[in-house]
Amino acid sequence: MVTRILILTIIFCASNYAQEPGRTDGAEESEFGWGGYPFAAAKNSWSIQALFGSGAVKSKPAPWRSKEELTDLYYGLKIGYKLDFFDFFAGYSRIEQQNSDFYGFEVTRGMPVGGMPDIKLGFSLGSELIKRDELDAEFSIVPGISAGIILSEHFVLGIDYRRSIVFSDYNVTVNRFGAYFKTEF
């Protein structure tokens, strides 16, 4: 198992090496030869991301004799700023049936999947403040992973998984799996 993970890591990392910038021969703006800019694809832009999916809240012991695990639909909205290769997001999401609100900040590193520039894989880390019905606000750390298809220069459609590790008296975890639509401007 470790060998397979090591091989996949080497293949994934080796496929992301770009050609070194260098001298360009030919007419102006022909880009014949090496040439180019190392960060040509990176641009700073604002974005709005709408998300929805399934959220499972697991709590041991469950507060007020409720079920230990509840799964319901969630929805949310994030506003972000792209700085080089990192997306910085501030967002809000809600699990309506459980009266759970999530206010958070997140940093995502998106990268193209080897050889396919229209598909991006993202890794994120964030923090959230969770306000559940009749409970005090709780703090959580939120690692996540996402995959998106670039539809055009300004639109991305994808899926993501985030796990909120909540610091509370009830040993709470929140797993969210869903889809998102992102527009950049």
* Structure confidence at residue 177 (pLDDT): 94
Nearest alpha-carbon partner for 184 in 9, 59, 12, 42: 42
Specify the pTM: 0.69
Residue 143 in any domain: the answer is: yes
Please tell me the distance from the alpha carbon of residue 155 to that of residue 144, in angstroms, as a whole number: 21
Residue 31 in any domain: the answer is: no
Percent of the chain exceeding pLDDT 90 equals 37
Please tell me the distance from the alpha carbon of residue 179 to that of residue 88, in angstroms, as a whole number: 19
96 vs 79, higher pLDDT = 79
Nearest alpha-carbon partner for 103 in 87, 126, 81: 126
Residue 39 pLDDT class (50, 70, 90 cuts): very low
Residue 101 in any domain: the answer is: yes
* Structure confidence at residue 115 (pLDDT): 73
Residue 150 in any domain: the answer is: yes
What phi and psi, each to the nearest 5 degrees, are found at residue 136? -65, 160
What domain range is 138 assigned to? 45-184
Residue 53 pLDDT class (50, 70, 90 cuts): very high
Residue 33 in any domain: the answer is: no
Domain count, the chain: 1
What is the domain-level CATH number for residue 172?
2.40.160.20
Average pLDDT over residues 82-99: 88
Residue 123 in any domain: the answer is: yes
pLDDT digits (tens, 9 = 90+) for 136-180: 788 999 999 999 998 988 899 999 999 988 887 777 788 999 999
Please tell me the distance from the alpha carbon of residue 64 to that of residue 1, in angstroms, as a whole number: 42
